[in-house]
A and B are shown apart, each in its own frame.
Chain A
Amino acid sequence: MTTLTLPTRKAEEWRYSDLDALATVWPTPAPTRIDVAAGESVRHHLLQDAADGAAAVHDYAITIADGARCDFHVLNIGGKLGRVTFAVTLGKGSHFELNGAIIGGGDQVLEIITSVTHAQPDATSGQTIRSILGQHATGSYLGSINVARDAQRTDAFQSVKAMLLDRTATANAKPELEIYADDVKCAHGATVGELDKQALFYMASRGMDPATAKTLLLKAFVAGVFDDVADEAVKGSLEAAALAKLETLV
């Protein structure tokens, strides 16, 4: 049951959100369900590019049956509030792979929230998130991995890197692990950094104007996120949208 009461910041998964923007679309619809049947392999992507000032909330509930695989690519760049959430349950020997980029400026609040449950043994999951935040934007990744008692030989990783273009921007990265099995590999890393000033001067010394230099460094930073999008047209549209958004920030 979805509660109709607007959440508060006391709830962990809403702590960094924009509740005023959320109120304009509350209550949000039920999550989009993706059920991957045993042994199947599916690919999904989301380009969240809502209009300026709008609030966009995309919730996904994904169940991946035994031996199945789901690859999800997300580019989260639009709206005042852009929120994408994943509640994933993994069956035996299945795999979930999330590659996401958040690129925000102005006073945008962009979020990727994940809860990945390894319910059965031998499942693997990978999450790679790259965020670029300028001006007064806030970008958040809150990701929990939950490993059930029976889910032995779970192998999961979370790799979260954020780049702040201005000291006024905010990045939140919160990988969280809850593990009840004992034979488990869970790796997580989170970094928040700024553009390399030495690299920028090196590029300038070769004649590159500052906007081109920054764009090149930022492209390199998010490179890889959409590398394994199988559909070339989808890949092209995600990369083009990411680049266009980057160019508004440098």
Chain B
Amino acid sequence: MLTIDNLANEIDGKAILKGLSLSIKAGEIHAIMGPNGAGKSTLAYTLGGRPGYQVTGGDASFNGVNLFSLEPHERAAAGLFLGFQYPVEIPGVSNLQFLRESLNSQRKARGEEPLSGGEFIKLAKEKAALLGLDMEMLKRPVNVGFSGGEKKRAEMVQMGILDPKLAILDETDSGLDIDALKIVGAGINAIMRKPDKAVLLITHYQRLLDYVKPDFVHVLAGGRIVKSGGPELALELEREGYAEVAAA
């Protein structure tokens, strides 16, 4: 589904990713772990196409399409979802309006009919219930006044409604208490644990991986994947620390 080959990039002239390669197939869940400053968020933003994240080398192919030839909104329409570590607040634009415009923009780009108001509300209700988020919250402006945990749940409601093929989730577990973590974990499984979908989880901690079990775990350090393994690698990292494992 996603093949990243020798990706290098820079932000403001500073090299962050330095030859990162990774391949994700449909049906797989991958976790990327690594110390602060390793380039984890940079990888997510670069794949999402955030302005200022300059690709200086390598390729990324998403279902056979050169990802970097697409604008950010085209990547979303092609089935890429980026879960933000810090979801953005948009005063004056309700979640429902935001999501309906987003979904219908995607559908239009794919040559599909827009969803009617009624169909959309039904879908939104179903996904909000899945994440235990009150529909009233979705009538409020995007992320405005939401707690850290509510923002992350709202992100997962967005993911449920937009129904992507590949979700790149950047520290979706940060800011969540244990109960919220369970709900969000179950939400990720319900929405994305399917044979035709894939997930790339970016996280500091093992705890999310207790709920969303990865098939592969990678250690990102110094802008490269320095080690890959199965779920046991996450436990090893938790036990021994990044420095130890990355050096081994």
Could you tell me which A residues sit within 8 Å of B by CB distance?
196-199, 201-210, 212-213, 216-217, 219-221, 223
Minimum C-beta distance from B40 to chain A (A): 17
Partner of B51, one of A197, A206, A216: A197
Query: Is B87's CB within 8 Å of the partner chain A?
Result: yes
Contact present for A206 and B158 (CB under 8 Å)? yes
Instruction: Evaluate contact between B103 and A207: CB separation under 8 angstroms.
Output: yes
Q: Which residues of A have CB within 8 Å of B89?
A: 199
Contact A202:B90 (CB < 8 A) given known A197-B51, A207-B77? yes
A201 x B72 contact (CB < 8 A): yes
Min CB gap B100→A, angstroms: 10
Residue in contact with A205 in the complex, picked from B82, B91, B142, CB distance below 8 Å: B82
- Judging by beta carbons under 8 Å apart, are A198 and B73 in contact? no
CB of A208 within 8 A of CB of B51, answer: no
**Contact A210 B93, CB 8 Å, known A204-B49, A216-B101:** no
Whether the pair B77, A216 counts as a contact (CB closer than 8 A) is: no
Q: A201-B50, A201-B51 are in contact. Are A208 and B90 (CB under 8 A)?
A: no
Chain A residues, Cβ within 8 Å of B90: 196, 199, 202-203, 217, 220
User: Are B77 and A205 closer than 8 Å at their CB atoms?
Assistant: no
B185: interface (CB < 8 Å): no
In this complex, the member of B50, B72, B99, B103 whose beta carbon has the largest number of chain A beta carbons within 10 angstroms is B72
How far apart sit A197 and B50, CA to CA, in the bound complex (Å)? 10
A221→B90 CA distance, assembly (Å): 11
A217 to B73, CA, bound (A): 16
Q: Which of B71, B92, B98, B109 contacts A206 (CB 8 A)?
A: B98
**Complex: A199 Cα to B86 Cα, angstroms:** 12
Which B residue's beta carbon lies closest to that of A215? B101
Main DSSP-derived SS at the A contact region: helix
| Residues 100-113 of chain B, each 1 if its beta carbon lies under 8 Å from chain A, else 0 | 01110110010000
Contact A223 B102 (CB under 8 A): no
B48 within 8 Å of A by Cβ? yes
Residues of A within 8 A of B158 (CB): 206
A-B pairs with beta carbons under 8 Å apart, 24 shown: A197-B51, A199-B88, A201-B51, A201-B88, A202-B84, A202-B90, A203-B102, A204-B49, A204-B72, A204-B73, A204-B76, A205-B75, A205-B82, A207-B102, A207-B103, A208-B73, A208-B101, A209-B105, A210-B71, A210-B73, A212-B105, A219-B92, A220-B92, A223-B92
Residue of A198, A202, A210 contacting most chain B CB atoms (<10 Å)? A202
Closest to B80 in A: A205
- Identify the interface centre among A207, A210, A220: most chain B CB within 10 Å of its CB: A207
A221 to B142, CA, bound (A): 14
Q: Which residues of B contact A204 (CB under 8 A)?
A: 49, 71-73, 76
